[in-house]
Amino acid sequence: MASALALTIRPASPISIIPQPKELVEGQGSFTLTARTPLLAQGDSALTIARFFADKLNASTGFNLRAIASKAPRRGAITLRIDPKLSLGVEGYTLSASS
């Protein structure tokens, strides 16, 4: 008597980030963007970038996110800041996500 076992293995979906990072360390957990997700910026330059980012997110999601100035990150928020101590080049960035 023969038996068959069907097993479907799906590859993990690739993380799509532009520009492509030089290095990626994937952790556990998830982040869900909602219409109520705060978009915070630390500093004037970061606020300009956060407003641009909010416009792009709003265009693709239909949300009405607004970038606001903040001195500190907040749980459940997206926070943008520019660290002048980092030497990352013209398009360099560091992206980190935490709870």
pLDDT digits (tens, 9 = 90+) for 29-48: 888 899 999 999 999 999 99
Helix (H, G, I), strand (E, B) or coil at 67: strand
Smallest CA-to-CA distance from 39 within 26, 51, 27, 56 is with 51
Q: Which residue has the higher pLDDT, 88 or 35?
A: 35
With bands split at pLDDT 50, 70 and 90, how would you rate the model's confidence at 28? confident
* Residue 13 clears pLDDT 70, i.e. is over it: no
Between strands 67-69 and 78-81, the pairing is unpaired
pTM exceeding 0.85 = no
Q: Rounded to an integer, what distance in angstroms lies between the CA atom of residue 72 and that of residue 58?
A: 23
Among 17-21, 29-33, 60-64, 77-81, name the one with the lowest average pLDDT.
Answer: 17-21
Cα–Cα distance list, 78 to 59, 75, 81 (Å): 17, 9, 10
Q: What are the domain boundaries of the chain? A: 39-81
